[in-house]
Amino acid sequence: MVVTEDNNIDHANRIEREHPTKHKERDWWKKSVFYQIYPRSFLDSNADGIGDIAGIRKKLDYLQLLGVDALWISPIFPSPNKDFGYDIQDYCAIDPTFGTLKEFDGLIDDVHKRGMYIVMDGVFNHTSDQHPWFQSSLKKEDKRDWYIWSQTPNNWTSAFGGSAWTYAPTRKKWYLHSFAKEQPDLNWDNPAVEEAILSIMEFWYQRGIDGFRLDVFNCYHKKTGLPDNPKRWDWQGLIGGRFYSYINQEHIHDRDQPELMGCLKRMRALADRYNAVLIGETLDERLRYDNAAQYVGENKLHLAFHFQLLHTRWNPIKMTQACRELQRCFATTWPNIVLSNHDFPRQSKRWGAAEERRKIMAFLSLTQKGTPFIYYGEEIAMQESTLPRKQILDPVGKRFWPFFSGRDGCRTPMQWDESPFGGFSAFEPWLPVHRDYRKRNVALQQRAPLSVWNTYRTLLQLRRQHSALHSGDQQWIASPSACLFYRRKTPEESLVCLLNLGNQSVEIPNVAGKILYHTHPDSSNLLRPYEGIIIKES
Residue 201, C-beta contacts closer than 8 angstroms, at least 6 positions apart: 122, 212, 267, 270, 271
- 378 labelled catalytic: no
Beta-sheet strands, E only, within 243-370? 277-281, 303-305, 336-338
Beta-sheet strands, E only, within 237-335? 277-281, 303-305
Distance between CA atoms of residues 487 and 511, nearest Å: 11
Smallest Cα–Cα separation from 8: which of 149, 157, 147, 199?
Answer: 199
- Yes or no: say if 279 and 244 are a contact pair by the CB < 8 Å rule: no
Distance between CA atoms of residues 285 and 258, nearest Å: 19
Distance between CA atoms of residues 294 and 130, nearest Å: 34
- Yes or no: say if 122 and 215 are a contact pair by the CB < 8 Å rule: yes
Distance between CA atoms of residues 479 and 485, nearest Å: 6
- Yes or no: say if 507 and 342 are a contact pair by the CB < 8 Å rule: no
Distance between CA atoms of residues 285 and 307, nearest Å: 9
Long-range contacts of 263-267 (CB under 8 A, 24+ apart): 263/188, 263/194, 263/220, 263/221, 264/217, 264/295, 264/299, 264/300, 264/301, 265/299, 265/300, 266/194, 266/198, 267/198, 267/201, 267/214
Residue 60, C-beta contacts closer than 8 angstroms, at least 6 positions apart: 110, 111, 114, 116
Smallest Cα–Cα separation from 287: which of 270, 271, 310, 255?
Answer: 310
What phi, psi does 206 have (nearest 5°)?
Answer: -75, -15
Q: Is residue 230 classed as helix, strand or coil in its secondary structure?
A: coil
DSSP 438: T
- 281 labelled catalytic: yes
Distance between CA atoms of residues 406 and 402, nearest Å: 9
Residue in 215, 355, 378, 384 annotated catalytic: 215
The single-letter code of the amino acid at 113 is K
Residue in 281, 379, 408, 531 annotated catalytic: 281
Q: What does each C-alpha distance from 167 to 149, 150, 153 come to in angstroms?
A: 9, 9, 9
Q: Which is it for the CA torsion 308, 309, 314, 316, positive or negative?
A: positive
What are the residue numbers of the active site?
A: 215, 281
